Amino acid sequence: MSDKHHHVPPDDPRAITLTYHHQHLWWYGADDALETWHVSADVDGGGEAGAGAHVGDMSITLVDLYQTHDPFALLDGEDAELGRIAETLFDADDGQLDPDLDEQLEPAGERILILHSVRLAPRWRDFGLGALLAGTAIRKLSGGARAAVCYPAPLAESGDDPDDEEWERAAASLQRVWAGLGFTHFRDGVYVLDLSMVTLDEKLGQLRHHAESHRPAGN
């Protein structure tokens, strides 16, 4: 039987380490390029060659609301998903945050954090770890951020071509996952989490408690 059927992850979730990587040209400013962080989740192999396991990858983009004069153009120039988020969050003409969202959010913070993608290795799925790891990364990178946003859409696997009904089911499942972190629907499939609230910390506490149930006995 598979690990999924036993509902046992490949290793102790407490052994997962998150590594954050951001690279940019020294002369780039907020108007030249997006601040994108790539986060790798891995099990520490104890320094042994070939030991450990890759758990997953995340991509998080940060936009400064005051220093970036045209966030719409920067986001729209990256890919279709960020373009969809851009047209929902920002005015294409003046780059200002949507007034409805501006009114909905608490005024603290000057950046918007975009959870761009989360992908777990197949053996690590179905244990609730995707939301836990993503939420942990959001919390780590949330300094000065007013809100986190995401567009819950399934990432196509190589060779996959899901039909509309299958895609809708997968998207609905992802929406429930991110709702578990406190994200709520704003508009056109874009979900928002106000980072000035205590919601994220409360949800992370619940997810950590759930992850404890997947630890090996005796640990």
Domain count, the chain: 1
Contact (Cβ atoms closer than 8 angstroms) between residue 158 and residue 122: no
**Hey, what are 143's tokens?**
């300094």
What is the pLDDT averaged over residues 193-204? 94
In angstroms and rounded to an integer, the radius of gyration of the C-alpha atoms of the chain is 18
Closest residue by Cα to residue 108 from 51, 146, 76 = 146
Residues with Cβ within 8 Å of 153's Cβ and at least 6 positions away in sequence, in order, are 81, 171, 174, 189
| Spatial separation of the C-alpha atoms in residues 72 and 83, rounded to whole Å | 8
Task: Tell whether the model's pLDDT for residue 1 goes beyond 60.
Answer: no
Task: Tell whether the model's pLDDT for residue 119 goes beyond 50.
Answer: yes
Direct distance between the N- and C-terminal alpha carbons of the chain, in angstroms, rounded to an integer: 24
Domain of 60, CATH number, reads 3.40.630.30
Asked if residue 69 belongs to a domain, the reply is yes
Asked if residue 14 belongs to a domain, the reply is yes
Task: Tell whether the model's pLDDT for residue 158 goes beyond 60.
Answer: no
Which range marks the domain in which residue 82 is found? 3-212
pTM for the structure as a whole: 0.88
| Spatial separation of the C-alpha atoms in residues 23 and 138, rounded to whole Å | 18
Closest residue by Cα to residue 97 from 110, 84, 115 = 110
Contact (Cβ atoms closer than 8 angstroms) between residue 149 and residue 109: no
Quote the pLDDT of residue 72.
Answer: 93
Asked if residue 48 belongs to a domain, the reply is yes
Asked if residue 193 belongs to a domain, the reply is yes
Asked if residue 96 belongs to a domain, the reply is yes
Asked if residue 52 belongs to a domain, the reply is yes
Asked if residue 219 belongs to a domain, the reply is no
Task: Tell whether the model's pLDDT for residue 160 goes beyond 70.
Answer: no
Alpha helices in 23-146 (DSSP H): 71-76, 80-89, 99-104, 129-140
